[in-house]
Amino acid sequence: MFRLTLLFCACEHFITCALLALPSLELIDDYTFPAETHFKETTIGGLSALHYDANTATLYALSDDPGEANTKGRERPRFYEFQLDVENKKLKLTPTAVHFFTRQGIPLQPGSIDPEAWVRLSSGNFLISSEGQPAIVKKKKQGESVPPNHPEIFEVTGKGEILKQYRLPGRYEPNDWSEARGLSPRQGIEGLAPAPPSIGEVATLTEGALSQDSKLEPAHLRLGICSRLASMLDCKMEYVYLLDPLEKKLGFVPTVKDSGVSDLLFTQDNEYFSIERSYYTDEKISRNIIKLYRFRVPERATNVAGKDTLSASDVALRKELVFNFDSILAKLKPAPAQVHHVLDNVEGMTFGPKVDGQSTLIFVTDNNFNPRQRTLFYFFKIKHKT
């Protein structure tokens, strides 16, 4: 039944997304959500995943804020509902609800979940990935003896109540604090989507390489095609996803640089979109490079599900560049004066409402609650190739 549930959730967008035959995007609008917007005693920000419900014109947005006990407006992990309207091809978003994560009706303590990605089921529930428990990492840094920080997948109702949780396969879990194996605390499952219904139930994609795979270049990420068991995900199919190398021709020498996959979107058949984002700064100049790719599973890629450590001989998935956000830099509205990131940190994407009878995509940036960043929504029309 779960397989059919995921397929139904993906299919609600099939009528809007004959997309992978249509690789071009046209910017309709970009909308910066006002900084420090407060809604029902929370600060809106840290948005890292989206889901659009066409039946109710509701945009769901997951905040990756794990909760900060002593920061007003950020005390509890949460997600939001926005009423989405398109007026004269301009995006308008109005917050209508906030949902806090609870277990048996009791609010989660700050730092007990670190939400990053999600996929919605036809029941209205979500599967949500957590990079682990920031509270455990904090205790470790303070010298306390605590168990390794394990990432997990949670099933959550549309109101935030946690129903079940699932551990990831052992190769994803750090068995100690040496970071020699498994996901690192800040490089978890950033992509969650339905799996192709003929081969699995849910697809997972890591932000970066597992620690035991980190010596391979370019970075070897893992796409899992998984099923839910009683208390864990069973990934019988797994494929290598090659992350683009860091950009070298920037015009400045960055002192900080980072890259990874930030979201995954199931389109149709066996095809997906993925977002790759990289970040560079020398403390004076900051630059984000954002690219949208498509790929298909399983093609001729090597199934590496039985391998604890990857090798250079593993055949990776073949990806194709759909869109480079650099191409719209000149078309964007001016950023607020304090913002130093133009394209910013794109983390979430979803199919949106039709415009002029054509499908759309919506992207959102994670402002990290940093005044130099912003919550920016991109609204694109998907154009058919002629």
Q: Which residue in the block uniquely carries the two structure tokens 């920016």?
A: 376
Residue ranges per structural domain of the chain: 2-383
pLDDT in tens, 169-186: 999 998 889 889 999 767
Average pLDDT on 348-354 reads 97
Residue type, 122: S
Cα separation of 120 and 137, whole Å?
Answer: 28
**pLDDT above 60: residue 5:** no
48 near 117, Cβ under 8 Å? yes
pLDDT at 6: 41
Portion of the chain with pLDDT greater than 70, in percent = 93
Which of 359, 371, 348 is CA-nearest to residue 59?
A: 348
Confidence band, pLDDT 50/70/90 cuts, at residue 23: low
pLDDT in tens, 170-228: 999 988 898 899 997 678 999 999 998 888 899 999 999 999 999 999 999 999 999 99
pLDDT at 141: 92
Confidence band, pLDDT 50/70/90 cuts, at residue 18: very low
**pLDDT above 80: residue 367:** yes
pLDDT in tens, 276-292: 999 999 978 889 999 99
Cα separation of 316 and 321, whole Å?
Answer: 15
Average pLDDT on 27-35 reads 93
Average pLDDT in the chain: 90
Backbone angles phi, psi at 42, to 5 degrees: -125, 155
Classify the C-alpha dihedral 128-131-134-140 as positive or negative: positive
Q: Which CATH architecture has domain 2-383?
A: 5 Propeller (2.115)
Confidence band, pLDDT 50/70/90 cuts, at residue 136: very high
Cα separation of 289 and 266, whole Å?
Answer: 22
pLDDT at 19: 38
Cα separation of 40 and 36, whole Å?
Answer: 13
**pLDDT above 50: residue 329:** yes
What is the signed CA dihedral for 276, 280, 284, 285, rounded to 10 degrees? Answer: -60
Q: Which residue in the block uniquely carries the two structure tokens 């059919």?
A: 4
Comparing 21 with 323, the larger pLDDT belongs to: 323
Cα separation of 308 and 303, whole Å?
Answer: 12
Q: How far is CA 136 from CA 34, 110, 155, in A?
A: 33, 11, 21
**pLDDT above 90: residue 302:** yes
**pLDDT above 80: residue 314:** yes
pLDDT at 127: 97
CA angle at 245 for the pair 241 and 251, rounded to the nearest 5°? 155
Comparing 363 with 282, the larger pLDDT belongs to: 363
pLDDT at 338: 85
User: Is this model's pTM higher than 0.75 or not?
Assistant: yes
317 near 297, Cβ under 8 Å? yes
What is the signed CA dihedral for 53, 22, 240, 174, rounded to 10 degrees? Answer: -20
The conformation of residue 243, written as its DSSP 8-state character, comes to: P
